[in-house]
Structure 1
Amino acid sequence: MQKRSFERGDKARQLIEYDASTRQEVIRTLASEDGLRLVLDIVQENFEDMNPQTRDLIFKTQVLPFLQIVTSPEVISSLVLEQAVGTIYNVLFGIDGSRAARWLNFICGVLEVDTTNEGSAMLLEASLHTFSRIADLNSTAPIQDNLHAVAQRFETVFASMSNKTGMGSRLHQSRLHLDRIHQRLETGKLFPMGTPEKKVKNESKVAFIANRETPGGRHNNDFDDICQIKIMPSFEEICSLRAEYLPVNNPLQWHIDGMDGLLDRNFRLLREDTVGQLRDAIHHELSPHAQQSQLRKLVYPKSIVVNLEFNWLSGLYFEVDFPQPAPVKNYTPVAREMWWQSSKRLQPGALVCLIIQKDVVLFCTVTHRDMSPRRKKENVLPQDPVPPQNRAEPRTLWKSSTRGSVVLTLVDSRYTNTQVVLDLFSPKRPTMSLVEFPGVILPAFEPALQALQSMKVAQNLPFSELFVPWAFDNFDLADMAPPLYATQPGFAFDLRCIMKDDTSFYVRVDQPSNVKYVQDHSILDGAQAHALISCLKRKLGLIQGPPGTGKSYTGVALVKVLLANKYAVKTRLGPILCVTYTNHALDQLLEALLDNNVTSQIVRIGSQSKSERLEKFNLQTVAKDTARTKMEKKERWSTAERLSLCEDDFRALDLKKEVPITRLKTYIQQTYPHHHDQLFSLVQTGGFYGVKTESPQATITSWLDSAAKDSAHPRPVDQLKNINVWEMSQKERQNLYNRWCRDYRADADEKVRHIVSSHKAAKQGYDSVQDEMHLRCLAEADVIGATTAGLARRLDVFRRLPCKFMLCEEAGEVLESHILTAFLPSVEHAILIGDQQQLRPQVQNYDLSSENPRGGAQYSLDISLFERLVSSNKSPMGCGAPFSTLETQRRMHPSIARLIRETQYTKLKDDPSVSGYPEIMGMRKRLFWLDHRQREGGPDPDAMSTSHWNSHEIDMTVALVNHLIQQGEYKHGDIAVLTPYLGQLHRLRKRLDELFAIVVGGRDREDLKQAAYGDYQDKDSPMVKAALSRTLRVATVDNFQGEEAKVVVISLVRSNTQNKCGFLRTPNRINVLLSRAQHGMYIIGNSETSIHVPMWAQVVEILKQGQNIGTSLELQCPRHPDTPIAVSTPEDFPKFSPEGGCNLRNAIRIFSTTLSFAWSLALDRLVAVTIHALSDAETLVRKSAW
């Protein structure tokens, strides 16, 4: 590239903006040897000796275009250009930062001359962006004093520009870059987090502050800095008896202040909740007398590594054999296969560990065998080096009656772990146990933990000043600042897209808005309109949505408005990132955007969608239609060749448990040639040497066995290097042979470790090409949809996106550590929608839950960021941020809504539409608590969880559901059965599945599987079950939030003399339970057990006032509504309400059937027979009616 390429700045910018392929070529060329010389020419220009006109010309035609190229968002975010961009910035930095300091000082000088025009603002932003990247990419930047001086000079320039009229709004990006520079250089310009002169919150209150041992020193994986902590526990950590350092929910007791302290707290608590349970389970396995872990585990003793393999795409994997579990040893092959498949043990993706001689622990994941065919160099067909007829049949979990087999890969393929696997594949392999953790998969927690570590290093989390639980009274969030992009001169949000009359209505962030006008003329009610406008005016919008108030509806309206105004600002806003906790909620949100014609430019992340409509919007599907650039094709081919070469090199080693003699012979020839010649080339016979003719194996055997035993002390092996092999004693020969084998294995092991390392580097490059394509697809979308877990897994890609908007639904259900990952560095405007009074995030370790009365509140891991933000700032972790609350519910009949209105939401209103809901077919009342005193069962002996069940309620629920379905009124999804316990769900599922076609949600399936209740697949049974059109949904309360049904039947389960409510003692869970039904709700439970919980006592009192609680439930025959039918036991249903009606209806049915039969007889037999039959039918009707 010639210097004149920069002499026309516009053309230089056009080159990188033209298309991805041209952009990649330009940057790669600029990072080449010739291109870097050009960069040096620009940076090292002697600007001081130039006259002002020449200097300005060079600046406009060379420096400014160069700055804009190297700070282009497409260039900075590119994965395939990452190395090239890093090279350019390293050249800018120089050896000690002096080159960058000199150049940046020159730019400051230019800016100081003129700070009044818009071009100066553009130059300042580009310069500071470049400075920020230099500081980010060079670890020694903070210690360069010359850069500190430059930062202070830029601060002065910025202050001067900010004081000019109309310039402030143009400098918001420059302010962000400057703050980032100060942060990286540690120049202290950022707002200090925790200074002694501030007034401590709640100073007047007396609080006990416990002395806690700070982190570090407990074991070899305990550090003050979370970035040094390995995600998986070390052996020393597993064996440690000292309690881990866990930060409490009081910032004054943290070992580190501010945002770093918040990230530290979230990392340590999340790791304890996930990895901590693995640690304790393994500790219990190593020390059986230790306290039992809450985590269920399965142990396969006497396991051995039987094979090592290498795949060009997945790398090193190994096969482990173990004795078949006792229950299946005597099974037939078919039964054994069915057992393994139904048990869901050792499924691909499962996390396991190998415990080796009780002193080494190795974490692995189960993987597929031969996961991807090896590519052929001609790129035509997969290469199969082993002919099919010579291939050994692969071992599986169930092929053998005595041994099972599973294929594993290392979680961490570092040097030491790879060597452990190689040592296990040897003749003297140690004994080991394979330990499985059912239901635990690494992607569920590892990405979030790694993200928290990355955020601490990068220090680029937006809104950090809002998230930190300030320990000081003088920090107030009541006046939340608007999003930066909305402060540009003349900008206003146009709400025309949601107005009924298609007229424009503008919302300006610095002016009051007429909410009443929006309520009257838009598709929103008053509270929704207020919430929408408030969220548009605040950079962090918070909406509380009680059940049925239209949280998702309001979210869709917000997305619609944001997209409609996307191009009204000069700043590039990028896609809207929509994040939810569950796949179900994400599907609903994205389908709502399609239904309301908001946009079809949607990309959904993840493969767990149940929506057929969203299949074509999946990232993998969209990426198939995206062409690779020339450079990407070249890079992918190059890295694929490197990966294939790794496989070739591994196969060439031909690793076996025993060292192959032919390979040992070659090794001896290369390393000890004189010994090789003595042993294999010549043979001593009668004092003469002849040519060796026997096989290498025979030679070695003969050599080892032919020497006489020597009682003398053998010479050390090192002294045998120059001794003739035939002149050694038998012991010396054996020692030398063992040294050869050990050296050969050490040499082969070193080659394997090198192959693994090379493969890891090549795989990163191979994946980067695919990620680059995905990045382009995502950048072109209007809306990107992802669950919090799915986003964390692809965080490296997402962090490169220029997303200014982020909307999170179900924010109250998401762990703070997970939702923090959704705040990408580019986000300027975030909206969280949730309800802190409904379900909180689920935690695995009950010791960390706020519901645990024995110390769990001090950690409160299950308190979401949403709840913290809206909580009063008088509490230690509360922030007191302003939020909006939706008020009108459109789900529940008023009689049902009253249960949560008088206990939880005093301002909740009913939409008029809910008063017109029809009565429940077959029932006298739409709301009723069927009270009983039948005792519960459990804890469940079939599961590791402490789950409970109640057989009476199971029978009663099945009978009631059967009665409801027989009305013929309710269709797919209209009826739901809810219960708080997996044990009850498991039994309900089995009973109901015998009668109906039922649906069990994905999250409940996973929970059931993890609790050892086996797997469940929805299935349509023949005959009557198929005719019911899958009417029934069965779920736990925790997995039904956000969903609804026309009729809900609830089994409370708990019924005991201790009056323990278990899960249903917290208002949050009770609230969710009572707010799922639209038309009718029936509760089956023991009120005496429940009323000791305050909220249940209120609910029971409300039900008593309406006479909606009792020991018998009144049914209603549709044809005879005045006929009284009361049932109190399961047996009463077939007795008093056969086939969903009443006895009178049954009698009529019998009469009609008999009459029809009689008429049939009349056609074939005598009339007398007919009269006799009619007489019998009449008598039967009268008897049945009475």
Structure 2
Amino acid sequence: MNWHEEPEMPRAEEIIATQASVLPHHEVQKPPRNKNRYLEAQYRLLRHEGTELLRRSVQEFRQDPGMAESSDTAVYTNVVVHGYLVSRIGMLCRIGFCPSRTDKRIRWNQSPRLTPGTIVALSPADDKFQNICLIANVVQRDLVGRLEPDLAAGEHPSTPPRIDIAWADPKHDAILDPDTELVMVEARNGYYESVRHAMRGLQEWSQYPSRFERYLIDGAKEACAPQYLRDFNHTMDLSSILTDDTSTACTVNVVRDGMPAADLTSLDPSQLNSLQHVLTSELAIVQGPPGTGKTFTSVSALKVLLSNLDGKHPIVIAAQTNHALDQILLLCAQATKAEFVRLGRRSQNEFISARTVFNLKQRSQKSYAGKEFGRIESLRKTHAKELKDLIDECFPDGLLKPSELLANGVITQAQHDSLDPDLEDDPFLPWLNDSIEQRPPHRFEPVSDIFEDVDSDVHDARRRMVDDDEKDRLSGQYIPILESYTGRVDLEILKRKNQLRSRMGGVLRKYQDLWDVPRHFRGAVYRCLRDQYVELKTKHFRALLEENAQLAENGRSCRARVDAEVIKEFNIPIVGCTATGLTKYRKLIENLQPRVLLVEEAAETREANITSALFPSLEQVILVGDHMQLAPHTDLRELGDHPYNLRVSLFERMINLGAGHAILNVQRRMSPEIRLILEPFYPTLQDHESVLARTPAPGMCHASYFFCHKWPESQTQWKSSINLTEARMIAGFVRYLVQNGTDASKVTILTFYQGQRGVILRELSKDAVLNNLSPLRRYNVCTVDGYQGEENDVVILSLVRSPRNTAPYNVGFLDNQNRVVVALSRARRGFYIFGNYRNLVHSAKSKAVWGPPTLVLRDQDRCHSRLPLTCKRHGEVVEVRNPQDWEMLHGGCRRKCEARLECGHVCQLLCHPCAAECDYVPKAPSNVRVGHIGLYEFLGSENQTRDEAVPAAVGDAAQDLISMYGGDEVIPNDDAVASDVSSGGASPDTCNPPDASDGTGSRTSPKASQSDRGSVEEEDLLSAVNSPSAPNSHESSNVNGGGRLSASRGIERAGQHWSKWDLRDYDMKMRQELKQGPRVAGMIVKETFREVQVRDDCQRKVVKVHRSTNVHQTNPSPDMAVTSRPTPSPVRVPAVLSSAAKDNLIDFSDAPASGPIRPLAVEGPYASSGYGGMTLLEEEDVRSEVSDLIRL
């Protein structure tokens, strides 16, 4: 078929073909010279990309009709028609289906399956694509009441999923009969909507000449001045770019006189040169390396154009992504104060979302509902009535009317007259008698309770291409197909439908009196009559759908004209849309008659998206981008390479052919150390003075580093590569950066793989310390492809690929230079690579790409299997080699903090960078020596277990405080190594008490049965009891994201082993919750303290243990002081070490050599908030009460 005449939607022959079509080559090394051949090559390649993956999926199904779903193909069975929706975009068929070929449930709200714009192939269930293939386009897939049952509306829980589709060829393919069971196949990759509108635009551009053919087709290198500039005699007012507000108009001949001096503007010389190139070139091309201000230069050009052009013909701004489009529209609005309108989906930015055509219509004083709209709407209502009448006739509430069968030639006059004429409603009823049955409802039961994994990026990308404006046009009249009764037929006979129909046709020819038909044949005969009748009506039905499709097309053209009139009414000077929108809204934009088209991210935009949007009115095309960064995306990788070259943009092709262009060369993003890594790709790139003094991220020795490892990779079910150990290493690094003062929002983690992105997000989300420091958990983890145009202070690159020792070198996507350049150029202050260096530079595919930038790192000794860190407090360099090493650091080095506190003591925490985290000790009177020691036990009766004693001592309100650690607690020695603790809270490891014979302890599991541990809800709250931590804790948290306790030190005393550990970050969170939450019941505690001697070297020695006869009770009321009462009999229950008893019960050099110590009680609000407190002082030196808040 001639490519100009190809239909917009795929033909069945394309999808059912056993072999792919032969494709033309797209020449990029020389000009095509022939416009038709050039456009046809673009068209054929796009059409192949849009259809080939579905063709392959259909072939996969044809070869194995019983196949389960694969990673490439989705299969839906029991597909039946439920009804039709008459909307403004046409008559849509609502189908129900069963995703029975997958072994997992589908999260429809996240899944990219059946996204609007996807094409699907359908075939009768008994044909299975052997002869029949029907093509449809998914138009609508609402969640509640469609993909999921609307239980509130009374739908059955087993109601199958439903979607609305548009038949590609309604004249031949549309299905009316709900008894026709179909199978539906979807390609799980590829998206037809991304190429559909560009193909149509190419067909239209072939019909008229364009001034840009001399560049695109003939290869002209020097661009002429745009027509508007020739109309101005080459003079323009440039005052809009001058920085001096007092400057008068600056009108110059931009071709002859050039631009103002750079110091009079906010542009650097390369930006001024690029601006002059834009203003004087019909086809202007500006290359901007990373950080050089491409968008800023574009906005400067727009300022000049808006101040010189008359505004009657808007400037069209297009960008590859919605984010880039919103960014330039906002900057343009701020710089020029000009109004704009955005076409397509609503932006997430409120300022932009208010500037749509819909909102302009609301503000308009005119009425645009003219005669043409009225005629179209009237015809649509007529079509809806005809469709409803037709459906009611074919599928009545009861049985078919013999008169309708007679009128359509299905039965003879004699057969009609043989039925009882007195039964006007259902003459067939007595004849069928017990051969009638009610149609069963369409039901679907999921085969599994396990949900499938989803590729959320794919879903989001496709969803963003679905316009909100389109959704407004999908409302309409829904006409369900409800057939209540039919003839009963034996199931085995029904399976042989063709044989049944042939045989029943013979029965009808034999019997003119229907009462003579044998009873056991009557159900089958009725079905045969019904099928013939529906077939006859289907012809009229399909003609109605085709007529309505043409009406919908007329409506689209009418709306495009009206929308253009609305924009003109408000004299909107700027129209923004995505690169896809350029072709999708082609009719609207063409009606606006724009003179200038500016394309941001032009090097990432397909050539066809631009060439198909070269409207006849255009006088200038401005392309801004960087072909060294991301190239256009293709769903079929082979189409991106030679000889098809779909990954070569128009921007890159023109530069390679020698077209005139300007280059920006001063970067304002990266510190010089990071910029050096890019020097192999951008040898002329210079640093702006603003980046020269930029320092590395706090806590880091270098602004850039390559951490090398050999940890092996693996794969997800989506075949996406992941590296779990690398992800854990990166999560620990992010925690370290945040501990050193870098806000989590200032750190971005990039990876080339979507699977790794998910793994890293999970590792970050389960890091308790990090989540305390960044409670909002707004972590920036992105794929490289999704981060072009973005930047951040610190960027971490996860390379992932690392084959096992016996496997060959393999880098996957990492060999793509465009992606590499993007990844290397996003950071401002710190850029850190984590990956397998040997795999990267020894792979034949990636050696040429990665060799030069990694050589820069190696030459500067920044490429090792150890990551050097700099302690902010002590200046020491610490090296981290594996994820476990992060657990030994608290953001600093491995020394003690030793910061001098207000109380005069020295902080004994492990080194940490934040002074606010230092251990706080209240200032005591000058004649008081502070010892900082104390232990607490919950008290109960002699016969109570621990789980009984705690609630009894604390009160009913503390029932939630049931320990997640089961059984009596016996704590390991100093030399015991803590093991992992299950997620959900932190608990210590345990060992049995040392045996008298060998003094060693044997490990026992810290786990207990659910019955021993209490309910799940009870488990979490008593982590505060088993894992005490205080506001003045001496060590940073050793808890990682999964509730893992990394270290626990034992304290041996009186034949018992006590555990102490620090959960300060966790404790800080708990304190905030307690302050904000309801008050808890009082707690009864018994003190255990001991006499200590301090040697000259500040080491401590326990002299003897004291047990207090006082029991202190914290009270629910904040205004009640702590009281004392007689001590009940103690029970052997786990002791809870207070935060003051740190590191074998911390004492300081100014503590007394010896002496008895007694407690002082605390008063105030903390007594009712789960806090008790005391400072233990030398008895003979007590002159006044001193309070210290100690968290239980």
| TM-score between both structures, scaled by the size of structure 2 | 0.65
Counterparts in 2 of 1:514-913, with a 5 A limit? 514-515=258-259, 517-567=260-310, 574-596=313-335, 598-607=336-345, 609-629=347-367, 632-655=369-392, 663-668=400-405, 670=407, 679=416, 695-698=426-429, 700-701=431-432, 741=530, 744-779=533-568, 780-850=571-641, 857-871=642-656, 879-901=657-679, 903-913=680-690
Distance 1:328 1:1061, change over 3 A: closer
Aligned equivalent of 1:259: 35
Distance 1:703 1:402, change over 3 A: closer
Is the 8 Å Cα contact of residues 841 and 851 (structure 2) preserved in structure 1? Answer: yes
* Of 187, 190, 207, the match for 1:437: 187
Secondary structure of the corresponding residue to residue 781 of structure 1: coil
1:286 aligns with 2:46: no
Aligned equivalent of 2:857: 1103
1:270 aligns with 2:270: no
Aligned equivalent of 2:743: 970
Distance 1:657 1:322, change over 3 A: farther
The AA in structure 2 aligned to 1:1144 is K
Structure of higher CA gyration radius? 2
Is the 8 Å Cα contact of residues 997 and 1029 (structure 1) preserved in structure 2? Answer: no
Aligned equivalent of 1:928: 705
Q: Which moved more, 1:981-990 or 1:228-237?
A: 228-237
Is the 8 Å Cα contact of residues 548 and 890 (structure 1) preserved in structure 2? Answer: yes
Q: CA deviation at 1:606?
A: 1.9
Aligned equivalent of 1:1115: 869
1:877-908 CA distances to partner (integer Å, 9 max, x unpaired)? xx32110111101111011111112x011211
Counterparts in 2 of 1:395-544, with a 5 A limit? 404-418=160-174, 421-422=175-176, 424-426=177-179, 429=180, 431-438=181-188, 440-456=190-206, 458-468=207-217, 470=218, 477-488=220-231, 490-501=233-244, 502-508=247-253, 511-515=255-259, 517-544=260-287
CA distance in structure 1 between the aligned counterparts of 2:891 and 2:266, rounded to whole angstroms: 45
Distance 1:698 1:1108, change over 3 A: closer
* Of 906, 910, 921, the match for 1:1156: 921
CA distance in structure 2 between the aligned counterparts of 1:541 and 1:1167, rounded to whole angstroms: 75
CA distance in structure 1 between the aligned counterparts of 2:630 and 2:696, rounded to whole angstroms: 29
Is the 8 Å Cα contact of residues 681 and 691 (structure 1) preserved in structure 2? Answer: no
The AA in structure 2 aligned to 1:820 is T
Q: CA deviation at 1:824?
A: 2.0
The AA in structure 1 aligned to 2:367 is T
Q: CA deviation at 1:809?
A: 0.9
Q: CA deviation at 1:588?
A: 1.0
Distance 1:340 1:760, change over 3 A: closer
1:621-671 CA distances to partner (integer Å, 9 max, x unpaired)? 2332234436x2444344323222322222223358867766433314646
Secondary structure of the corresponding residue to residue 1038 of structure 1: helix
Secondary structure of the corresponding residue to residue 1080 of structure 1: strand
Q: CA deviation at 1:962?
A: 0.9
CA distance in structure 1 between the aligned counterparts of 2:620 and 2:800, rounded to whole angstroms: 45
Is the 8 Å Cα contact of residues 955 and 1130 (structure 1) preserved in structure 2? Answer: yes
CA distance in structure 1 between the aligned counterparts of 2:828 and 2:300, rounded to whole angstroms: 24
Distance 1:346 1:1171, change over 3 A: same
Distance 1:1118 1:370, change over 3 A: closer
Counterparts in 2 of 1:1119-1158, with a 5 A limit? 1119-1120=873-874, 1122-1135=875-888, 1137-1140=889-892, 1142-1145=894-897, 1149-1150=907-908, 1156=921
Aligned length: 856
The AA in structure 2 aligned to 1:1156 is V
1:962-991 CA distances to partner (integer Å, 9 max, x unpaired)? 11112233263x111011122222211222
Aligned equivalent of 2:971: none
Is the 8 Å Cα contact of residues 306 and 320 (structure 1) preserved in structure 2? Answer: yes
Distance 1:769 1:241, change over 3 A: closer
Distance 1:740 1:1123, change over 3 A: closer
* Of 1032, 1050, 1059, the match for 2:779: 1032
Greater strand content: 2
Greater helix content: 1
Distance 1:1127 1:658, change over 3 A: same
Q: CA deviation at 1:351?
A: 3.8
The AA in structure 2 aligned to 1:352 is V
1:293-317 CA distances to partner (integer Å, 9 max, x unpaired)? 997221123x131522333545434
CA distance in structure 2 between the aligned counterparts of 1:370 and 1:1049, rounded to whole angstroms: 38
1:355-376 CA distances to partner (integer Å, 9 max, x unpaired)? 3312222233445589999xxx
Distance 1:955 1:580, change over 3 A: same
Secondary structure of the corresponding residue to residue 404 of structure 1: coil
The AA in structure 1 aligned to 2:161 is S
Aligned equivalent of 1:211: none
Q: CA deviation at 1:1160?
A: 12
Distance 1:933 1:679, change over 3 A: closer
1:31-54 CA distances to partner (integer Å, 9 max, x unpaired)? xxxxxxxxxxxxxxxxxxxxxxxx
Q: CA deviation at 1:582?
A: 0.8
The AA in structure 2 aligned to 1:1143 is R
CA distance in structure 1 between the aligned counterparts of 2:919 and 2:267, rounded to whole angstroms: 60
Distance 1:1035 1:411, change over 3 A: farther
1:511-537 CA distances to partner (integer Å, 9 max, x unpaired)? 42334x432322211111111111211
Distance 1:923 1:674, change over 3 A: closer
Distance 1:636 1:236, change over 3 A: closer
Distance 1:727 1:909, change over 3 A: closer
Aligned equivalent of 2:121: 353
Secondary structure of the corresponding residue to residue 160 of structure 2: strand
Distance 1:818 1:760, change over 3 A: same
CA distance in structure 2 between the aligned counterparts of 1:1161 and 1:281, rounded to whole angstroms: 84
Aligned equivalent of 1:299: 75
Distance 1:514 1:289, change over 3 A: same
Aligned equivalent of 1:1073: 823
Is the 8 Å Cα contact of residues 317 and 410 (structure 1) preserved in structure 2? Answer: yes
Q: CA deviation at 1:784?
A: 0.9
CA distance in structure 2 between the aligned counterparts of 1:691 and 1:599, rounded to whole angstroms: 79
Is the 8 Å Cα contact of residues 603 and 632 (structure 2) preserved in structure 1? Answer: yes
Structure 2: tracts of 5 or more residues without a match: 437-501, 900-905, 910-916, 935-1088, 1101-1141, 1149-1192
1:189-239 CA distances to partner (integer Å, 9 max, x unpaired)? xxxxxxxxxxxxxxxxxxxxxxxxxxxxxxxxxx3x212334544443334
Aligned equivalent of 2:1160: none
CA distance in structure 1 between the aligned counterparts of 2:197 and 2:799, rounded to whole angstroms: 37
1:538-571 CA distances to partner (integer Å, 9 max, x unpaired)? 100111111111100100000000011113xxxx
* Of 710, 733, 737, the match for 1:960: 733
The AA in structure 1 aligned to 2:882 is T
1:1059 aligns with 2:821: no
CA distance in structure 2 between the aligned counterparts of 1:449 and 1:1070, rounded to whole angstroms: 31
Structure 1: tracts of 5 or more residues without a match: 1-222, 330-335, 374-391, 684-689, 706-712, 851-856, 872-878, 999-1022
1:1101-1151 CA distances to partner (integer Å, 9 max, x unpaired)? 22122222222112122222x22311111111221x214565322895446
Q: CA deviation at 1:928?
A: 1.1
1:325 aligns with 2:100: yes
Q: CA deviation at 1:836?
A: 1.4
Distance 1:320 1:909, change over 3 A: same
| TM-score between both structures, scaled by the size of structure 1 | 0.65
Q: CA deviation at 1:739?
A: 7.7
Secondary structure of the corresponding residue to residue 380 of structure 2: helix
Q: CA RMSD in A?
A: 4.4
